[in-house]
Structure 1
Amino acid sequence: MPTEFFHSGDALFLLAHPDDEFGCFESIRRTVESGHRAIIVFLTNDAKRPDTRARREAESRSVLASLGVDPQCILFVGGELDIPDSELHNHLTVAWRGLRTIFQVEQTISTVYVPAWEGGHHDHDAVHALGVLATEVWAPNAATYQFPLYNSFRIPHPFFRVLYPLSANGQLIRVRISFRHRLRYIGLCMNYPSQRKTWVGLLPFVAPKLLFKGAYSVQPTDRKRLFERPHLGSLFYERRGWLSWDVFEANLKDLISIIRRETDTTVEHIEQKVPPA
């Protein structure tokens, strides 16, 4: 397993929610400090709480600015397309078309980062699927990597694992973090006051991992995984009563059918790449 990893060039970070960037702080920082652009795209919005939505967006803008991200490269697409938090699985087609525009405009993307396929939050898995499929269709030469956030693999309810990569997702590639930046990232995790309740549960697990492990892992994505449950046993979003895997899988298959119909010039490419729905 490599002990150091960095893929040069402009990078696209596809995220579900403001604050999901905590799982890839180091990759964002390295992209910017290497002189390339980190393009950050959020695919949902807190539509049910407009005041909180504005605060969450401002918090992520501030955190990302501290990492050197150009404000023009922070895109709240979920807000523009009116995709509510926790409802991305019901808006996959809308999100797909939004991503098409981004890939058409951004022709220099060499790397795409997505949340891991891990069954933690269904929005995270939806972003993963969208990112993997969009990259194969519109940026086939780009490398795509996944980073873990949280999941419930082999751990009893109501507990969960944080920053825990699943072996089923393939090769682990270590991203080392200097001690100075570990402390910095722990501090940044405290800069989301609108999500205080969430971070009360996350930070006690995130902080020790960052501080003592000194690295996190990314993994290459694999399209074939989209047609497998992220892991055996109940998924975290199923345990919480948010969604069932069967509904998620059905919506994903519907999206793939639409992609085949709508992508005129790449229908053959999609047929070769994506298993039948």
Structure 2
Amino acid sequence: MAVVFLLAHFDDEYCALPLILRAQAAGEDCWFLYVADYARPGMAERRLAETVAFLKAYGVPAERVRHVGRGSGVVDREVAAGIPQALAGLRAALAEVPSISEFAVPAWEGGHPDHDSCAAMATMLAAERGGVPVRQFGLYNGRRFPRPFYRACSPIPENGPQMRIPIGAAAWLKWIAAVRFFPSQTWNWLGLWPSMFMTFAQRGGFACQTLEPARIAERPHAGRLHYEWMFQTPYAVVRQAVDAALADEGGDQSAGRARIRKKPASIRT
């Protein structure tokens, strides 16, 4: 059996470490599939190498780490617009995974449009496999926080009950130190890293939630979403792309792609 981590970006796996350790303790293989490509190939290669090194430190072989978005045109911050292509790449990669026990995915929380797009795709792919569970883990969100502030790794109540995953003191210390594997993202981790471990300290550790398919039909939370001001991507763009992909799953693929292309001219992605 295997747990498939369906992720947008290299280093997203850092925030899911307790889920990785939980799967390994249960004797399950972990596979990591990344859907976002990068405008600069050199950056993609560097970030992939960082992720491979991090996962190797936790016993994950490099052959189970796949950049399915490489060369797909589904670039960072624009995964929503490329959901059909991303799904095709994911399905091809998943054909090599013998038996899937669950998916793990960034939470449907309004933090980054790529994260929410991955959450939506995970529910579609899970349904194709008989409804295997989808576990969502928080990366960051701005729920009830004034910009530019956010909470890292903080489950939102809209996503349902929390499941806590305990890890030992030595594992915590190793996790804290493992941020060193991502030097290309130092600037981003300067904000995320202290926020995530502050969240864990305040909330008594790491928690994830089950992502129910019906949740994808709802706005992540009331009020302005973090990515709406941070990346200037309105929720309507993500909503339209997800709805189009769901329509495609029902067979109306040409209509779905047409709807994705009809973005408002003022939207910057």
Structure 1-normalised TM-score? 0.86
Alignment of 1:126-205 (within 5 A): 126-137=117-128, 139-205=129-195
Which secondary structure does the structure 1 equivalent of 2:95 belong to? helix
Is 2:95 the partner of 1:96?
A: no
Whether the aligned pair in 2 keeps the contact of 1:45 and 1:78 (CA below 8 Å) is yes
CA RMSD of aligned residues (A): 1.7
One of 239, 248, 255 as aligned partner of 1:258: 248
Shift of 1:101: 2.0
Residues 212 and 63 of structure 1, relative CA distance in 2, 3 Å threshold: farther
The separation in 2 between residues aligned to 1:27 and 1:81, in whole angstroms, is: 28
Structure 1: runs of 5+ lacking an equivalent: 1-8, 264-277
1:81 equivalent in structure 2? 72
Aligned partner letter, 2:211: T
2:11 equivalent in structure 1? 19
Whether the aligned pair in 2 keeps the contact of 1:13 and 1:41 (CA below 8 Å) is yes
One of 42, 45, 54 as aligned partner of 2:37: 45
One of 53, 60, 63 as aligned partner of 1:69: 60
Aligned partner letter, 1:121: H
2:261 equivalent in structure 1? none
| 1:185-238 Cα deviation digits (max 9, x unpaired) | 111122210011101111121233446755211111111111111000000000
Shift of 1:17: 0.3
Is 2:20 the partner of 1:28?
A: yes
Aligned partner letter, 1:249: R
1:248 equivalent in structure 2? 238
Structure 2-normalised TM-score? 0.89
What percentage of residue pairs aligned between the two structures are identical?
A: 31
2:228 equivalent in structure 1? 238
| 1:113-142 Cα deviation digits (max 9, x unpaired) | 1110000000000000001111112x1252
The separation in 1 between residues aligned to 2:204 and 2:171, in whole angstroms, is: 9
The separation in 1 between residues aligned to 2:160 and 2:152, in whole angstroms, is: 18
How many residue pairs end up in the alignment?
253
Which secondary structure does the structure 2 equivalent of 1:190 belong to? helix
The separation in 2 between residues aligned to 1:104 and 1:200, in whole angstroms, is: 38
The separation in 1 between residues aligned to 2:172 and 2:69, in whole angstroms, is: 30
